[in-house]
């Protein structure tokens, strides 16, 4: 279970997420919809620890993960697949996934 509680995040002085709360439950698919620039990628980057949470928290299976490094968050089984072409060219599609 992935829980976002009153999460705030952004870039420098620019705040993008203003108190986002949502829960992703095991065995279910959750889609976040929004226009370009709405904050979808910012949400994912904050979950992954690529951006620091300015307020609120991210927890996974009851353990707070906000503040952990992306490396340690990845070890918990959480992965971020960017929309850009940030892939490993030498790996297959399966290996990249």
Ligand X SMILES: Nc1ncnc2c1ncn2[C@@H]1O[C@H](COP(=O)(O)OP(=O)(O)O)[C@@H](O)[C@H]1O
Nearer to ligand X (CB atom), residue 35 or residue 94: 35
- DSSP character for 52? -
- Distance in angstroms (rounded) separating the CA atoms of residues 26 and 29: 8
- Distance in angstroms (rounded) separating the CA atoms of residues 57 and 71: 18
User: Interface mask (CB under 5 A) for Mg ion, residues 71-90, using x and -?
Assistant: --------------------
Binding site for ligand X (CB under 6 A): 11, 14, 16, 34, 36-42
The phi and psi torsions of 47 (rounded to 5 degrees) equal -60, -40
Nearer to ligand X (CB atom), residue 35 or residue 89: 35
- Identify the bridge partners of residue 71 per DSSP, sorted by sequence position: none
Question: Of residues 41, 43, 46, 66, which one binds Mg ion by CB under 5 A?
Answer: 41
Nearer to ligand X (CB atom), residue 1 or residue 32: 32
Residue nearest to Mg ion (CB): 41
CA distance readout (Å), 96 to 74, 79, 92:
14, 11, 6
Please give the residue ranges that form the binding site for Mg ion (CB under 5 A): 40-41
């Amino acid at each position: 279970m992935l829980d976002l509680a009153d999460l705030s995040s952004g870039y420098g002085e620019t705040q993008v997420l203003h108190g986002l709360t949502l829960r992703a439950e095991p065995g279910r698919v959750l889609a976040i919809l929004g226009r370009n620039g709405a904050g979808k990628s910012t949400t994912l980057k904050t979950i992954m620890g690529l951006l620091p949470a300015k307020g609120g928290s991210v927890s996974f299976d009851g353990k707070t993960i906000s503040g952990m490094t992306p490396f340690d968050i990845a070890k918990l089984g959480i992965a971020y697949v960017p929309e850009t072409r940030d892939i490993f060219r030498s790996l297959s599609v399966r290996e990249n996934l």
